[in-house]
Chains A and B, each alone.
Chain A
Protein backbone atom coordinates (compact mmCIF):
# COMPACT_ATOMS: atom_id res chain seq x y z
CA UNK A 1 0.00 0.00 0.00
CA UNK A 2 1.44 3.34 -1.02
CA UNK A 3 2.32 5.64 1.81
CA UNK A 4 0.93 9.11 1.91
CA UNK A 5 3.04 12.16 2.71
CA UNK A 6 2.44 11.98 6.43
CA UNK A 7 3.31 8.33 6.58
CA UNK A 8 6.52 9.02 4.65
CA UNK A 9 7.47 11.77 7.06
CA UNK A 10 6.99 9.53 10.09
CA UNK A 11 8.13 6.26 8.52
CA UNK A 12 10.71 5.53 11.21
CA UNK A 13 8.13 5.96 13.96
CA UNK A 14 5.65 3.76 12.12
CA UNK A 15 8.28 1.07 11.58
CA UNK A 16 9.32 1.27 15.23
CA UNK A 17 5.76 0.77 16.39
CA UNK A 18 5.19 -2.10 13.97
CA UNK A 19 8.31 -3.81 15.25
CA UNK A 20 6.85 -4.13 18.74
CA UNK A 21 5.91 -7.74 19.52
CA UNK A 22 2.26 -8.48 19.97
CA UNK A 23 1.19 -8.62 23.61
CA UNK A 24 -0.94 -11.72 24.01
CA UNK A 25 -3.61 -12.81 26.45
CA UNK A 26 -2.63 -15.43 29.05
CA UNK A 27 -3.27 -19.08 28.27
CA UNK A 28 -5.93 -19.30 30.94
CA UNK A 29 -7.82 -16.39 29.46
CA UNK A 30 -10.69 -18.37 27.92
CA UNK A 31 -11.06 -20.70 30.88
CA UNK A 32 -11.18 -17.77 33.27
CA UNK A 33 -13.65 -15.98 31.03
CA UNK A 34 -16.11 -18.87 30.80
CA UNK A 35 -15.82 -19.47 34.53
CA UNK A 36 -16.81 -15.85 35.14
CA UNK A 37 -19.66 -16.03 32.65
CA UNK A 38 -21.05 -19.26 34.11
CA UNK A 39 -20.78 -18.03 37.68
CA UNK A 40 -22.64 -14.80 36.97
CA UNK A 41 -25.34 -16.52 34.85
CA UNK A 42 -26.50 -13.58 32.86
CA UNK A 43 -27.77 -13.26 29.38
CA UNK A 44 -29.35 -16.73 29.16
CA UNK A 45 -32.29 -16.41 31.48
CA UNK A 46 -34.77 -13.85 30.39
CA UNK A 47 -37.57 -13.34 32.79
CA UNK A 48 -40.96 -12.91 31.30
CA UNK A 49 -43.16 -9.98 32.22
CA UNK A 50 -45.26 -12.14 34.50
CA UNK A 51 -42.22 -13.58 36.20
CA UNK A 52 -40.94 -10.11 36.93
CA UNK A 53 -44.37 -8.99 38.15
CA UNK A 54 -44.81 -11.86 40.56
CA UNK A 55 -41.30 -11.97 41.93
CA UNK A 56 -41.46 -12.62 45.68
CA UNK A 57 -39.41 -9.57 46.51
CA UNK A 58 -41.91 -7.40 44.67
CA UNK A 59 -44.96 -9.34 45.78
CA UNK A 60 -44.48 -9.32 49.53
CA UNK A 61 -45.11 -5.63 50.27
CA UNK A 62 -48.12 -5.42 47.97
CA UNK A 63 -49.53 -8.68 49.34
CA UNK A 64 -49.12 -7.39 52.88
CA UNK A 65 -50.94 -4.21 51.98
CA UNK A 66 -53.77 -6.15 50.38
CA UNK A 67 -54.16 -8.37 53.45
CA UNK A 68 -54.21 -5.33 55.73
CA UNK A 69 -56.87 -3.67 53.59
CA UNK A 70 -59.04 -6.79 53.64
CA UNK A 71 -58.73 -7.07 57.42
CA UNK A 72 -59.62 -3.43 57.87
CA UNK A 73 -62.71 -3.75 55.70
CA UNK A 74 -63.73 -6.88 57.55
CA UNK A 75 -63.45 -5.17 60.92
CA UNK A 76 -65.34 -2.14 59.70
CA UNK A 77 -68.12 -4.32 58.26
CA UNK A 78 -68.48 -6.20 61.54
CA UNK A 79 -69.08 -2.97 63.39
CA UNK A 80 -71.25 -1.40 60.76
CA UNK A 81 -74.45 -3.08 62.04
CA UNK A 82 -74.01 -1.69 65.55
CA UNK A 83 -73.44 1.91 64.68
CA UNK A 84 -75.62 3.37 62.05
CA UNK A 85 -75.45 6.94 61.08
CA UNK A 86 -78.74 8.39 62.30
CA UNK A 87 -78.59 11.06 59.64
CA UNK A 88 -78.65 8.44 56.95
CA UNK A 89 -81.39 6.37 58.50
CA UNK A 90 -84.77 6.60 56.91
CA UNK A 91 -87.60 7.24 59.39
CA UNK A 92 -89.74 4.24 60.06
CA UNK A 93 -93.26 4.49 58.87
CA UNK A 94 -95.71 4.65 61.79
CA UNK A 95 -98.82 2.70 61.33
CA UNK A 96 -100.62 4.34 64.28
CA UNK A 97 -101.05 7.77 62.67
CA UNK A 98 -103.44 8.85 59.96
CA UNK A 99 -102.27 10.22 56.67
CA UNK A 100 -103.96 13.49 55.73
CA UNK A 101 -102.93 16.11 53.27
CA UNK A 102 -104.90 18.84 55.06
CA UNK A 103 -107.05 19.41 58.12
CA UNK A 104 -110.28 18.97 56.19
CA UNK A 105 -109.39 15.37 55.55
CA UNK A 106 -109.51 14.62 59.25
CA UNK A 107 -113.01 13.40 60.20
CA UNK A 108 -114.63 15.79 62.74
CA UNK A 109 -117.42 15.18 65.35
CA UNK A 110 -120.78 17.24 65.66
CA UNK A 111 -121.32 20.37 67.84
CA UNK A 112 -123.32 18.41 70.34
CA UNK A 113 -120.12 16.86 71.48
CA UNK A 114 -118.53 20.22 72.10
CA UNK A 115 -118.51 19.76 75.84
CA UNK A 116 -116.96 16.41 75.50
CA UNK A 117 -114.45 17.73 73.03
CA UNK A 118 -113.67 20.58 75.34
CA UNK A 119 -112.96 18.13 78.05
CA UNK A 120 -111.00 16.05 75.67
CA UNK A 121 -108.94 19.00 74.67
CA UNK A 122 -108.55 19.97 78.24
CA UNK A 123 -107.43 16.49 79.07
CA UNK A 124 -104.96 16.59 76.30
CA UNK A 125 -103.68 19.94 77.32
CA UNK A 126 -103.27 18.93 80.94
CA UNK A 127 -101.94 15.48 80.42
CA UNK A 128 -99.73 15.85 77.52
CA UNK A 129 -97.38 18.65 77.06
CA UNK A 130 -95.86 20.07 80.23
CA UNK A 131 -97.79 23.21 79.54
CA UNK A 132 -97.98 25.69 82.31
CA UNK A 133 -100.65 28.25 82.11
CA UNK A 134 -101.00 31.10 84.58
CA UNK A 135 -104.37 32.34 83.36
CA UNK A 136 -107.49 32.26 85.52
CA UNK A 137 -109.99 29.54 85.18
CA UNK A 138 -112.39 31.72 83.14
CA UNK A 139 -109.76 32.57 80.62
CA UNK A 140 -108.84 28.99 80.42
CA UNK A 141 -112.41 28.00 79.75
CA UNK A 142 -112.64 30.57 76.98
CA UNK A 143 -109.45 29.21 75.49
CA UNK A 144 -110.71 25.75 75.82
CA UNK A 145 -114.05 26.58 74.21
CA UNK A 146 -112.28 28.41 71.37
CA UNK A 147 -109.98 25.54 70.86
CA UNK A 148 -112.81 23.10 71.11
CA UNK A 149 -114.74 24.89 68.35
CA UNK A 150 -111.78 25.42 66.10
CA UNK A 151 -110.18 22.10 66.47
CA UNK A 152 -113.20 19.96 66.98
CA UNK A 153 -111.76 16.54 66.56
CA UNK A 154 -113.62 13.34 67.00
CA UNK A 155 -111.78 10.68 68.83
CA UNK A 156 -113.37 8.14 66.63
CA UNK A 157 -111.45 9.49 63.68
CA UNK A 158 -108.08 9.20 65.37
CA UNK A 159 -105.99 6.12 65.79
CA UNK A 160 -105.51 6.36 69.50
CA UNK A 161 -104.52 3.22 71.12
CA UNK A 162 -107.49 2.19 73.20
CA UNK A 163 -106.65 1.43 76.84
CA UNK A 164 -109.38 0.00 79.01
CA UNK A 165 -108.95 1.25 82.57
CA UNK A 166 -110.47 -0.31 85.59
CA UNK A 167 -112.72 1.68 87.93
CA UNK A 168 -109.97 2.09 90.44
CA UNK A 169 -107.59 3.31 87.75
CA UNK A 170 -110.13 5.81 86.52
CA UNK A 171 -110.65 7.09 90.04
CA UNK A 172 -106.94 7.48 90.53
CA UNK A 173 -106.60 9.29 87.21
CA UNK A 174 -109.29 11.79 88.12
CA UNK A 175 -107.58 12.46 91.41
CA UNK A 176 -104.39 13.22 89.58
CA UNK A 177 -106.19 15.54 87.19
CA UNK A 178 -107.68 17.49 90.09
CA UNK A 179 -104.29 17.76 91.65
CA UNK A 180 -102.77 19.18 88.51
CA UNK A 181 -105.61 21.66 88.07
CA UNK A 182 -104.96 22.89 91.54
CA UNK A 183 -101.31 23.26 90.78
CA UNK A 184 -102.01 25.24 87.63
CA UNK A 185 -104.34 27.59 89.44
CA UNK A 186 -101.89 28.23 92.19
CA UNK A 187 -99.08 28.75 89.69
CA UNK A 188 -97.23 25.61 90.58
CA UNK A 189 -96.17 26.96 93.94
CA UNK A 190 -96.03 24.37 96.64
Chain B
Protein backbone atom coordinates (compact mmCIF):
# COMPACT_ATOMS: atom_id res chain seq x y z
CA UNK B 1 0.00 0.00 0.00
CA UNK B 2 1.45 3.36 -1.02
CA UNK B 3 1.89 6.35 1.25
CA UNK B 4 -0.78 8.26 -0.63
CA UNK B 5 -3.25 5.47 -0.06
CA UNK B 6 -2.35 5.26 3.62
CA UNK B 7 -3.02 8.98 4.11
CA UNK B 8 -6.52 8.46 2.82
CA UNK B 9 -7.34 5.87 5.45
CA UNK B 10 -9.25 6.63 8.61
CA UNK B 11 -7.66 6.30 12.03
CA UNK B 12 -9.28 2.91 12.58
CA UNK B 13 -8.12 1.62 9.21
CA UNK B 14 -4.60 2.80 9.87
CA UNK B 15 -4.32 1.05 13.23
CA UNK B 16 -5.71 -2.15 11.69
CA UNK B 17 -3.13 -1.88 8.90
CA UNK B 18 -0.46 -1.48 11.57
CA UNK B 19 -1.81 -4.44 13.54
CA UNK B 20 -2.13 -6.84 10.65
CA UNK B 21 0.83 -5.92 8.45
CA UNK B 22 3.09 -4.12 10.92
CA UNK B 23 3.12 -1.13 8.59
CA UNK B 24 5.20 1.41 10.48
CA UNK B 25 4.18 4.14 8.03
CA UNK B 26 0.58 3.74 9.20
CA UNK B 27 1.75 4.28 12.77
CA UNK B 28 3.72 7.38 11.75
CA UNK B 29 0.64 8.87 10.10
CA UNK B 30 -1.34 8.36 13.29
CA UNK B 31 1.45 10.03 15.25
CA UNK B 32 1.42 13.05 12.95
CA UNK B 33 -2.37 13.33 13.29
CA UNK B 34 -2.52 13.17 17.07
CA UNK B 35 0.74 14.61 18.36
CA UNK B 36 -0.53 18.23 18.44
CA UNK B 37 -4.04 17.63 19.81
CA UNK B 38 -2.63 15.41 22.54
CA UNK B 39 0.13 17.89 23.36
CA UNK B 40 -2.47 20.65 23.66
CA UNK B 41 -4.72 18.53 25.84
CA UNK B 42 -1.98 17.34 28.20
CA UNK B 43 -0.35 20.77 28.47
CA UNK B 44 -3.65 22.44 29.40
CA UNK B 45 -4.07 19.78 32.08
CA UNK B 46 -0.52 19.64 33.51
CA UNK B 47 0.81 23.11 32.73
CA UNK B 48 4.38 21.89 32.14
CA UNK B 49 5.53 21.71 28.53
CA UNK B 50 8.47 19.34 29.03
CA UNK B 51 6.41 16.91 31.04
CA UNK B 52 3.63 17.23 28.50
CA UNK B 53 5.93 16.20 25.62
CA UNK B 54 7.18 13.22 27.61
CA UNK B 55 3.64 12.11 28.34
CA UNK B 56 2.60 12.33 24.70
CA UNK B 57 5.68 10.39 23.63
CA UNK B 58 4.86 7.73 26.23
CA UNK B 59 1.34 7.61 24.83
CA UNK B 60 2.64 6.96 21.32
CA UNK B 61 5.04 4.32 22.60
CA UNK B 62 2.17 2.55 24.31
CA UNK B 63 0.19 2.65 21.07
CA UNK B 64 3.18 1.10 19.29
CA UNK B 65 3.73 -1.60 21.92
CA UNK B 66 0.16 -2.52 22.61
CA UNK B 67 -1.37 -2.00 19.17
CA UNK B 68 -2.94 -5.46 19.36
CA UNK B 69 -4.90 -4.47 22.44
CA UNK B 70 -6.93 -1.97 20.43
CA UNK B 71 -10.34 -3.24 19.47
CA UNK B 72 -12.15 -1.74 16.52
CA UNK B 73 -15.33 -1.58 18.59
CA UNK B 74 -14.21 1.77 20.02
CA UNK B 75 -12.99 4.81 18.14
CA UNK B 76 -9.24 5.16 17.88
CA UNK B 77 -9.40 8.74 19.19
CA UNK B 78 -11.15 7.50 22.32
CA UNK B 79 -8.48 4.88 22.86
CA UNK B 80 -5.51 7.21 22.43
CA UNK B 81 -7.08 9.98 24.54
CA UNK B 82 -7.72 7.43 27.30
CA UNK B 83 -4.06 6.43 27.33
CA UNK B 84 -2.91 10.05 27.38
CA UNK B 85 -5.42 10.97 30.08
CA UNK B 86 -4.30 8.13 32.33
CA UNK B 87 -0.67 9.13 31.98
CA UNK B 88 -1.50 12.79 32.57
CA UNK B 89 -3.42 11.97 35.74
CA UNK B 90 -0.55 9.83 36.99
CA UNK B 91 1.89 12.65 36.37
CA UNK B 92 -0.45 15.10 38.07
CA UNK B 93 -0.65 12.91 41.19
CA UNK B 94 3.09 12.51 41.21
CA UNK B 95 3.61 16.26 41.04
CA UNK B 96 1.04 16.86 43.70
CA UNK B 97 2.91 14.54 46.08
CA UNK B 98 6.26 16.07 45.30
CA UNK B 99 4.94 19.61 45.01
CA UNK B 100 7.47 20.46 42.32
CA UNK B 101 7.16 23.39 40.03
CA UNK B 102 8.88 23.62 36.71
CA UNK B 103 10.64 26.90 36.10
CA UNK B 104 10.34 26.31 32.40
CA UNK B 105 6.60 26.43 32.17
CA UNK B 106 6.52 30.18 32.77
CA UNK B 107 9.11 31.03 30.16
CA UNK B 108 11.87 32.27 32.43
CA UNK B 109 14.52 30.39 30.49
CA UNK B 110 13.67 30.57 26.84
CA UNK B 111 16.23 28.76 24.78
CA UNK B 112 17.39 26.01 27.12
CA UNK B 113 15.25 23.04 26.28
CA UNK B 114 15.28 22.46 22.53
CA UNK B 115 18.13 21.89 20.14
CA UNK B 116 16.10 22.75 17.06
CA UNK B 117 14.48 26.18 17.05
CA UNK B 118 10.76 25.73 16.88
CA UNK B 119 8.68 28.43 15.24
CA UNK B 120 5.42 27.00 16.47
CA UNK B 121 3.50 28.39 19.42
CA UNK B 122 5.39 28.03 22.67
CA UNK B 123 3.26 28.51 25.78
CA UNK B 124 6.31 28.78 27.99
CA UNK B 125 7.56 31.82 26.14
CA UNK B 126 5.94 35.01 27.32
CA UNK B 127 5.02 37.46 24.61
CA UNK B 128 2.62 40.37 24.64
CA UNK B 129 -0.13 38.32 23.15
CA UNK B 130 0.71 35.50 25.44
CA UNK B 131 0.05 37.28 28.71
CA UNK B 132 -3.68 36.82 28.46
CA UNK B 133 -3.18 33.22 27.47
CA UNK B 134 -0.98 32.71 30.51
CA UNK B 135 -3.62 34.17 32.78
CA UNK B 136 -6.20 31.82 31.32
CA UNK B 137 -3.85 28.89 31.67
CA UNK B 138 -3.11 29.80 35.29
CA UNK B 139 -6.83 29.98 35.99
CA UNK B 140 -7.38 26.65 34.31
CA UNK B 141 -4.72 25.04 36.48
CA UNK B 142 -6.52 26.29 39.56
CA UNK B 143 -9.74 24.54 38.61
CA UNK B 144 -10.26 21.21 40.39
CA UNK B 145 -8.57 18.37 38.55
CA UNK B 146 -11.72 16.34 37.98
CA UNK B 147 -13.49 19.38 36.45
CA UNK B 148 -10.48 20.62 34.53
CA UNK B 149 -10.02 17.44 32.51
CA UNK B 150 -13.57 17.33 31.17
CA UNK B 151 -13.67 21.11 30.50
CA UNK B 152 -10.53 20.80 28.40
CA UNK B 153 -11.89 17.79 26.47
CA UNK B 154 -15.19 19.54 25.78
CA UNK B 155 -14.37 23.23 25.31
CA UNK B 156 -10.81 23.02 23.94
CA UNK B 157 -10.62 19.61 22.23
CA UNK B 158 -14.25 19.73 21.02
CA UNK B 159 -15.02 16.13 21.89
CA UNK B 160 -18.61 14.94 22.31
CA UNK B 161 -20.14 14.11 25.67
CA UNK B 162 -20.23 10.44 24.64
CA UNK B 163 -16.53 10.38 23.81
CA UNK B 164 -15.66 12.16 27.05
CA UNK B 165 -17.77 9.64 28.93
CA UNK B 166 -15.80 6.76 27.35
CA UNK B 167 -12.42 8.40 27.93
CA UNK B 168 -13.01 9.23 31.57
CA UNK B 169 -15.18 6.24 32.41
CA UNK B 170 -17.88 8.51 33.82
CA UNK B 171 -21.53 8.48 32.85
CA UNK B 172 -22.76 11.30 30.65
CA UNK B 173 -24.71 13.00 33.44
CA UNK B 174 -21.60 13.20 35.60
CA UNK B 175 -19.60 14.48 32.65
CA UNK B 176 -22.05 17.33 32.00
CA UNK B 177 -22.24 18.19 35.67
CA UNK B 178 -18.50 18.38 36.09
CA UNK B 179 -18.10 20.44 32.91
CA UNK B 180 -20.53 23.05 34.20
CA UNK B 181 -18.89 23.21 37.61
CA UNK B 182 -15.51 23.68 35.96
CA UNK B 183 -16.87 26.46 33.76
CA UNK B 184 -18.36 28.12 36.81
CA UNK B 185 -15.03 28.14 38.60
CA UNK B 186 -13.29 29.57 35.55
CA UNK B 187 -15.89 32.24 35.14
CA UNK B 188 -15.34 33.35 38.73
CA UNK B 189 -11.56 33.44 38.32
CA UNK B 190 -11.67 35.25 34.94
CA UNK B 191 -14.31 37.79 35.81
CA UNK B 192 -11.75 40.59 35.77
CA UNK B 193 -10.85 39.76 32.16
CA UNK B 194 -14.48 39.90 31.15
CA UNK B 195 -14.81 43.32 32.64
CA UNK B 196 -12.12 44.68 30.30
Interface string of B183-196 (1 = CB under 8 A from A): 11011001001100
Give the complex CA separation of A26 and B40 in angstroms.
12
Indicate with 1 or 0, residue by residue over B97-130, a CB within 8 angstroms of chain A CB atoms: 0000000000000000011101011010000000
User: Separation in Å of the B147 CB from the closest CB of chain A?
Assistant: 12
* C-alpha spacing A20/B180, complex, angstroms: 19
Q: Is the CB of B183 within 8 A of A14?
A: yes
A45 to B40 Cα, complex, angstroms: 33
Q: Which of B3-11, B53-61, B76-84, B166-174 contacts A (4 or more CB under 8 A)?
A: B53-61
Across the interface, A20 reaches (CB within 8 A) one of B31, B57, B115, B133, namely B133
A32 partner residues in chain B, CB cutoff 8 A: 57
Task: Specify which of B53, B176, B180 is in contact with A29 (CB 8 Å cutoff).
Answer: B53
What residues of B have a CB within 8 angstroms of the CB of A12 in the complex? 187, 194
A28 to B118 CA separation, bound complex (whole angstroms): 9
Which interface residue of A6, A16, A21, A28 has the most chain B CB atoms within 10 A?
A16
Main secondary structure of the interface of B (DSSP, over half): helix
- The CA-CA distance from A10 to B115 in the complex, in Å, is 41
**Chain B, interface size: which category?**
35 or more
The residues of B with any CB-CB pair to A shorter than 8 Å are 22, 28, 31-32, 35-40, 43-44, 49, 52-53, 56-57, 60-61, 64-67, 114-116, 118, 120-121, 123, 133, 136-137, 140, 151-152, 155-156, 176, 179-180, 183-184, 186-187, 190, 193-194
18 A-B contacts, Cβ less than 8 Å apart?
A: A10-B180, A10-B183, A10-B184, A10-B187, A12-B187, A20-B133, A20-B137, A21-B121, A22-B36, A24-B121, A27-B120, A28-B114, A29-B53, A30-B28, A32-B57, A37-B61, A42-B65, A43-B65
